[in-house]
């Protein structure tokens, strides 16, 4: 919510001075932060305590009024887009030698975001490697060696915590600082 407020104030103050592609990008970003916020609070269900409507009860595996828990399209696609945005934006800016349509400082307004990106990668890459390379045994351990392997892969892939929730927290942290640095780069609120 704070990021959305920062972005709204940024849009209000700087909209007329931005190039068209930057305007489109910032509006999509603002709407995306609002969507992320409202989806995470189940559109107010957790604050106001309403019962989940039957439509959502039938399709939502967490029995909440949101769509990101209904299918991988609404969960994994936005999560992967956020992952790319939050963890690799400093790489994109490095690759782009020129300020492509004025997007360089919009995409990566401060070098400190790189540290949050690296933190996200530290939590994401080991899990990706263990999963995609099929390193974990994937079945109940039948020997001491497999028990130790299971423990080792659980630890290095951070699967002993709800990794998806940790990733969401880091995405939120990145977005908060990104929106703050946008305001700082383009002037005070």
pLDDT per residue as tens digits for the range 75-109? 899 999 999 999 999 998 888 777 767 778 888 99
pLDDT per residue as tens digits for the range 22-41? 899 999 999 999 999 999 99
pLDDT per residue as tens digits for the range 136-177? 766 677 888 888 888 888 888 888 888 889 999 999 999 999
**Helix, strand, or coil (residue 130):** helix
Output the six-digit token pair for 187.
């002037």
pLDDT per residue as tens digits for the range 161-170? 888 899 999 9
Distance of alpha carbon 173 from alpha carbon 44, whole angstroms: 21
pLDDT at position 187:
65
Distance of alpha carbon 117 from alpha carbon 171, whole angstroms: 9
What pTM value is reported for the model? 0.86
For residue 146, the Cα-to-chain-centroid distance in whole angstroms is 33
């Amino acid at each position: 919510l704070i990021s959305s407020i920062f972005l709204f104030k940024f849009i209000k103050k700087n909209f007329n001075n931005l190039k068209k592609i930057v305007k489109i990008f910032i509006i999509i970003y603002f709407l995306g932060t609002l969507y992320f916020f409202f989806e995470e609070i189940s559109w107010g269900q957790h604050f106001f305590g309403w019962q989940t409507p039957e439509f959502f009860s039938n399709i939502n595996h967490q029995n909440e009024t949101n769509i990101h828990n209904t299918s991988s399209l609404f969960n994994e696609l936005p999560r992967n887009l956020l992952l790319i945005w939050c963890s690799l934006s400093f790489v994109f800016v490095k690759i782009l030698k020129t300020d492509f349509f004025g997007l360089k400082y919009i995409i990566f307004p401060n070098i400190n975001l790189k540290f949050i990106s690296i933190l996200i990668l530290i939590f994401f890459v080991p899990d990706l490697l263990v999963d995609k390379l099929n390193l974990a045994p994937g079945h109940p351990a039948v020997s001491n060696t497999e028990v130790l392997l299971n423990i080792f892969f659980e630890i290095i892939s951070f699967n002993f915590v709800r990794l998806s929730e940790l990733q969401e927290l880091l995405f939120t942290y990145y977005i908060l600082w990104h929106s703050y640095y946008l305001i700082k780069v383009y002037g005070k609120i």
